[in-house]
A = this chain, B = another copy of it.
Amino acid sequence: MKKDRLNAEFCNCNVIHEDVVNRVSEKMPEEEKLYDLAELFKVFGDTTRIKIIYALFESEMCVCDIAALLGMTQSAISHQLRVLKSAGLVKYKREGKIVYYSLDDEHVKNIFDQGFVHINHKYMY
- A residues contacting B by CB (< 8 A) are 4-7, 9-17, 20-21, 23-25, 27-29, 33-47, 49-51, 54-55, 57-59, 61-65, 67-74, 88-89, 98, 105, 107-108, 110-112, 114-119, 121-122
Q: Is the CB of B40 within 8 A of A118?
A: yes
| Chain B nearest CB, measured from A48 CB (Å) | 9
> Which of B7, B9, B44 lies in contact with A41, CB distance below 8 A?
B44
Q: Which residues of B contact A5 (CB under 8 A)?
A: 68
Q: A5: nearest residue on chain B (CB-CB)?
A: B68
Q: Is the CB of A11 within 8 A of B71?
A: yes
Report Cα–Cα, A106/B63, bound state, in Å: 38
